[in-house]
A and B are shown apart, each in its own frame.
Chain A
Amino acid sequence: MNQTLETTQAQRDAVTDADVTLIVGLEVHVQLDTQSKLFCNCSTAYGADANTQTCPVCTGMPGTLPVINQRALKLAIKTGLALNCKIANYTKWDRKNYFYPDLPKGYQISQFDKPICGEGHLTISDAKGAFETRDIQIERAHLEEDAGKSIHDETGAQKPSKIDLNRTGTPLLEIVTKPDLRSAEEAKAFLTELKLILTYIDVSDCNMQEGSLRCDANVNLHIKVDGEKIATPIAEVKNLNSFRAAERAIGYEAERQLRVWKKDGLGIADAPKQTRGWDDANQKTTKSREKEDAADYRYFPDPDLIAVETTDEEINAIGSTIEYLPSKLRTELMESYGLEAYDTEVIVSQGIGVVTYYKTVADFLTKSASGSKSPGKTASNWVAQEVLRYLNEQNCAIGDYPISGDQLGELLARIAKGDFDQTRGKDVLAQMLENRADLEAAIEKLGIKAVDSGEVEALCQQIIDENQGVIEQIKGGKVQAVGSLIGKAKKLNPNINPNLVKETILKQIGI
């Protein structure tokens, strides 16, 4: 690497935010959703008693040999396809050698130079336009086995450390981006979109608390000084276990690296890559205790496993199992249902269950001949506000929502027809949820019935007679005052259609 340009304190002090570009690359470890481990038949279920999900193979007993889990391979290929990666027709296994107590064989089986997934990309965008929509390049994605867990005594009593090998051998897909991300927001958007894709294609439960999705970020700055570019030393921030942590850690690093560089002026060639950890309690990154000398993992092909050859036909067959991708659904909701980007995102970010539910409601409303002017938007309002609120409150999934998409569609159709207004409609929905009633029963229970035109006219005449003051105001040009009369009409007859009331009153007083 070239020597870093030498800068003076004055030059460094003159640098402003506009001269600084943040460079971020991510490494995301995804635990693939398999029943058994990558190289043996042990269960991958989370939360079992320590060392109960182990066998001679995953504890590295002398003489044991690994055998590849075919489902893990398929899930890796499926993920690669969803990320637009070139899938390798030939992939092999390599050993990454290092000593660690929770690594039973003294090496991790991984993929070095022939990963299962090659270059690809993922599109990020922001519904509110915080950054421009663009493709983030993916360098590769490879399969590897997870290590176990070391459990150290934290009581200060210096009790011996313990090791739980239940996790050892769990299949991980490590997805590596190019250093393409330019802000903490972009990094968060990438992770959010990645998680959404993984959820849609059903390859991982993406449970971050249980470690199914873990992220490391490589961060540095490119700083312009008098037309020359200076790169700061790279920091790898490890084990970011929430999107928020990733966003904040990257933001913190951007600030820290600029502060440090302004003080010492050291560039990428002057200081080694640092490993740092995110300290959530203090909201800052700290230097890890790991040794800084470059680790030599002595990668070489694992002689216990044979290379995997996959034909294009096999790859295509796996591709055909991808039913839904968020990007395609967004296009569909915007083009076929007339939704705006923001409303689309609210629905799509909830997963395929909510999207399907939404489409059922909107389709019903569209076909109902109710006269609804914007069925897509109406359905999205109700799903986003009423349905999602219920799911949040009850902490349940869309599959557990008690009202079918058709029933909600019917309810919206009745509102559109003018059988009752939106406020009454919400009462009906509440009634349906509370009593698990069907639509008609709920309507009946609330005593909602059609009001004929004679009744409307009589009621309006009564209101005109009793509120001459307001009528004078309206006649005087303050038409909006009719609102208070609508309220009075609704008190007299809750089933009355407010629009009709307004129309009738204005007609009767000759406006």
Chain B
Amino acid sequence: MQIEQLSAAELVKRIGTGELTAAQCTDHFLGKIRDKNDDNGAFLAQCDEQAADAAKQIDASIAAGKSPGPLAGLPVAVKDGICTAGITTTAGSKMLSEFVPPYDATIVSRLKDAGAIVIGKTNMDEFAMGSSNENSAFHPAKNPWNHDHVPGGSSGGSATAVAAAMAPVAIGSDTGGSIRQPASFCGITGLKPTYGRVSRYGLIAFASSLDQIGPMTRSAEDCALVMQTLAGHDKNDSTSAPVDVADYMAALEKPLSGLKVGICKQHFEEGLGEEVRASVNDAIDVLKTLGASTVEIELPYTQYGIAAYYVIAPCEASSNLSRFDGVRYTNRAAAENLEEMYSKTRAEFFGEEVKKRIMLGTHALSSGYYDAYYLKASKVRRMIKNDYDKAFESVDLILGPTVPTTAFKFNQHAADPLAMYLADIYTVAANLSGVPAISIPCGFDSAGLPVGLQLQARRFDEATLLQAAHQYQTQTDWHQRSPQS
């Protein structure tokens, strides 16, 4: 069996026993990146030297009989919106094309402490704003199942990297669906944790109250393995929750009997692709055979999710992106005076979508509009949260499609940005309400593109998500299929 076909759990096991060295494993994946990146653009940077050094240390430590850590030797690709000390971190923007952070994001430190090896930085929509990777300021990543199609976004590079077997595991971030939608488009497993479950320290903020970092892997089991390291309170992030972390690996093997799965009828109304609907319905049947029962539920306010999201996220973004002003650590446009320096820098180094959202947010927060936009959207958000709280009184999980369609073609939505925004229709509610959600592959359409199934759970109940996803994957092989490219 080829190294890239092994699960993350298996790689860690073999490295731990000495059957495989961390150096061999790292070399192998770095080689894959070199082979494929020109074609699929998944990575913005490859960390050959740092990765080789780290692998050497892991191997030495294993040889010395020391405890190698739960992820010892595991190569990880990290989304380029997450800060890595000494490694250029661009967030997909020309603004930060020269930015080398002096510090590691908390999750990067945690991964390194667990023995994982950062092998590269993955492509993304600029500042995580986008659903197709077309907003990367450098080049888009391509869907490994068909290079004419987008990999989704904003964590499209991470999804491509895992689907194309350039990394066994990738880290993404999800503000309105940015882990789950590309996971769905690329046929992999992607978890958006509960808001506050994983530290955001070091994640270049898009919308702070919605952003969460999470794992993108081939299987739910790998997802659980990595999540065990990512999760937990961080004193550097006040919004990270001091809630105990469950044993995710132990939860995987529990049977699903007695599990109540809510089916939200709003997720199956118009706009949902027929092939997606069919695959999701098949998935429901699989879960039933595993002992789960289904209950029809309603989430009436989620229909306003997209509207609320496209107010709140740009508002926060307009403020979060103010620091990119040409004074420190960004690129700077030549100018005669301060005001010109600000405007030229921001005009030249921000992309169109980013500028559009900054303007939307700035407008919505301005005096006289705040109540009608930000405040109203915040109220809607609370209603959506209430919907979820009520639903989870009677069900353990909520099941539905991740995205209404499979991966669309490049430029397909160029003329209609609203159609692009609707790609987030089933995913934004989890960010607005803070609940965890996972996307797992559940089939393919007639064009051979993957379909994603979304499961959502109570806040801080990632264990049940991973359990259901894993049990589903014991009965299906969608997650084991690989694209030709």
Q: Which residues of A contact B (CB under 8 A)?
A: 56, 59-68, 95, 97, 99, 101, 104-107, 163, 296, 298, 300, 303-306
Contacts and interface: CB of A to CB of B under 8 A. Distances in A.
Contacts of B91: 62
Contacts of B237: 65, 67
Contacts of A62: 83, 89, 91, 96, 99, 101, 204-205, 323-324, 329
Contact of A105 (B96, B204, B322, B338): B322
Given A63-B203, A104-B328, A306-B238, 14 more contacts: A61-B329, A62-B96, A62-B101, A63-B105, A64-B202, A67-B236, A67-B238, A95-B319, A101-B327, A107-B319, A296-B367, A298-B318, A298-B362, A300-B319
Q: Which of A63, A67, A104, A300 counts the most B-chain CB atoms under 10 A from its CB?
A: A63
Contacts of A60: 323, 328
A155 B83 CA distance: 40
Contact of A298 (B103, B235, B366): B366
Contacts of B145: none
6 contacts: A62-B91, A63-B201, A106-B322, A296-B367, A300-B319, A304-B208
A376 B239 CA distance: 58
A381 B367 CA distance: 60
A56 B103 contact: yes
Majority-rule SS of A interface residues: loop
Interface in B76-112: 82-83, 89, 91, 96, 99, 101-103, 105
B370 interface: yes
A99 B325 CA distance: 8
Contacts of A59: 328
B374 interface: yes
A107 B205 CA distance: 14
B296 to A, nearest CB: 34
Interface of B: 82-83, 89, 91, 96, 99, 101-103, 105, 200-205, 207-209, 235-239, 315-316, 318-319, 321-325, 327-329, 338, 342, 362, 365-367, 370, 374
Given A99-B342, A104-B323, A300 B365 contact: yes
Contacts of A104: 323, 327-328
Contacts of B324: 62, 106
A107 B327 CA distance: 14
Contacts of A64: 103, 201-202
Interface of B: prevailing SS:
loop
Contacts of A298: 318-319, 362, 365-367, 370
Nearest to B83: A63
Nearest to A39: B238
Contact of B325 (A63, A66, A106, A300): A106
Given A61-B102, A99-B342, A67 B235 contact: yes
A296 B367 CA distance: 6
B365 A97 contact: yes
B17 to A, nearest CB: 36
A87 to B, nearest CB: 21
A106 B330 CA distance: 13
Nearest to B363: A298
B204 A63 contact: yes
Contacts of A163: 327
A-B pairs with lowest CB-CB distance, top 9: A106-B322, A303-B209, A303-B208, A298-B365, A62-B204, A63-B202, A63-B83, A60-B323, A296-B367
Contacts of B329: 61-62
A104 B326 CA distance: 10
A298 B362 CA distance: 8
Contacts of B318: 97, 298
Nearest to B321: A106
B96 A68 contact: no
Contact of A68 (B99, B238, B342): B238
A59 to B, nearest CB: 6
A66 B342 CA distance: 25
B346 to A, nearest CB: 10
B239 A303 contact: yes
A104 B322 CA distance: 9
A303 B202 contact: no
B342 A296 contact: no
A61 B329 CA distance: 8
Nearest to A68: B238
B316 A63 contact: no
Contacts of B319: 95, 97, 106-107, 298, 300
